[in-house]
Amino acid sequence: MSAGTRPGARFADMFGSFPTAERLAFDIRSFGSVEGYHDMFGARLSRILGVPRDVLAAVGQLSEVDYVKRAVELLEPHTRSAAELVADLTAQGATATVLHNPLPTTPYLSNDSLAELVAPFPDRLIGFCRIRAEDPEAAAAEIRRCAALGLRGVTFTPFWHRMRANDPALDPVYRACLDADLPIWIHTSVFWERRTPLSFEHPLYLDEVATRFPDLRIIAGHGGWPWIPEMVTVAWRQTNVYIDFSAFRPRHLATAGTGWDMLWYQLPRMLSHKVVFGSTWQLLGLPVSDVLAELDGLGLDGRTLHRWRYANLAGVLRLPEAPEEAP
């Protein structure tokens, strides 16, 4: 099913993939820095991007010295330009695509680089700055700086920094988001770094943040699985908490026994205005069109489908084009 087969076929993507040579280099750096990720995602990354596995392996083995230069040289023959990627996404119906910076490895992809990437495509690409939360005051200053650069949201991954989202030390980060009027995406799901307790990502911590900062737009990244009853309750209870369904295939949501049952039940009901679409197509190893086809094939009513595909995220991101109800 193509992106043009239904009313409201356009979509806004809370977690897009954008594999230019430089960004892919840092995606590989991120996978290599976390035990378990490369084994899980390396083969599908090669398959979906058409980058030979030996090239991916060679990039993964590069040292820190001149990493970016050497990685780009290896990857550039197998990747597309930013303009080509934007044209492809637009052809598939993408109205806006959020780009997050990869995990802050050494070396890392700077927020300045992301700002430079999205600047030529302000109507299509939305950059979320990556923060280093270990120093909350410095992170707050970086948020303010990035807002001035034109970045339009913040990305925070609790397990990477071993900081729970409800830690009061993070209050300067949340206040900076409010002051700059930026939403914050907080990783809230399973992760494969096995030396850190899974509990760092529990969605109940978001309830405390939302209670302290009721005007802060909070996006629970990757849906809150495996704590779906708690995630549903937090998003239902807190008007400023949204659920980003990404990194999982849409068909799993409607499949009994996968743990998504309560979200599936509430999706067309109490949470019809709270769930946003994220493709993570590179991570899933599927074209965006296939991810959308699975979503379209779930049998949801037109209004719920349109909200999930587009309108909910348009509201969260305050896109220039006002959300509309599907016919």
Residue 44: the pLDDT is 83
Q: Where are the domains of the chain?
A: 11-18+81-317
Residues near 44 by beta carbon (within 8 Å), at least 6 away in sequence: 283, 284, 285
Of 130, 142, 148, nearest to 30 (Cα)?
Answer: 130
Residue 48: the pLDDT is 92
- Residue pair 221/188 in contact (Cβ under 8 Å)? The answer is yes
pLDDT in tens, the chain (327 residues): 333 344 447 899 999 999 999 999 998 888 765 555 566 667 888 899 999 988 988 998 899 999 999 999 999 999 999 999 999 999 999 999 999 998 888 888 999 999 999 999 999 999 999 999 999 999 999 999 999 999 999 999 999 999 999 999 999 999 999 999 999 999 999 988 888 999 999 999 999 999 999 999 999 999 999 999 999 999 999 999 999 999 999 999 999 999 999 999 999 999 999 999 999 999 999 999 999 999 999 999 999 999 999 999 999 999 876 555 543
Residues near 313 by beta carbon (within 8 Å), at least 6 away in sequence: 12, 13, 14, 96, 276, 277, 319
Give SS3 for 256: coil
Side chain identity, residue 250:
P
Side chain identity, residue 202:
H
Question: Could you give the strand order of the β-sheet that contains 11-13, starting from the edge strand earlier in sequence?
Answer: 11-13, 94-100, 125-130, 153-156, 184-187, 218-221, 241-245, 275-277
Residue 8: the pLDDT is 43
Residues near 211 by beta carbon (within 8 Å), at least 6 away in sequence: 238
Peptide bond into 122 cis (omega under 30): no
Tell me which CATH code domain 11-18+81-317 carries: 3.20.20.140
Residues near 85 by beta carbon (within 8 Å), at least 6 away in sequence: 18, 19, 20
For the chain, the distance separating the N- and C-terminal CA atoms, rounded to the nearest angstrom, is 19
Residue 34: the pLDDT is 56
Torsion sign, CA atoms 173, 213, 184, 206: positive
Residue 106: the pLDDT is 85
Global pTM reads: 0.93
Q: Which residue has the tokens 């599908």?
A: 44
Which residues on adjacent β-strands are paired with residue 16? none
- Residue pair 229/259 in contact (Cβ under 8 Å)? The answer is no
Q: Phi first, then psi: what are they for 72, rounded to 5°?
A: -65, -40
What's the rounded Cα separation, in Å, for the pair 326 and 8? 6
Outline where the chain has alpha helix (H).
21-33, 37-49, 53-60, 67-75, 82-91, 111-118, 136-149, 158-161, 171-180, 204-212, 228-237, 250-253, 261-266, 281-284, 288-296, 302-306, 312-317
What's the rounded Cα separation, in Å, for the pair 3 and 141? 40
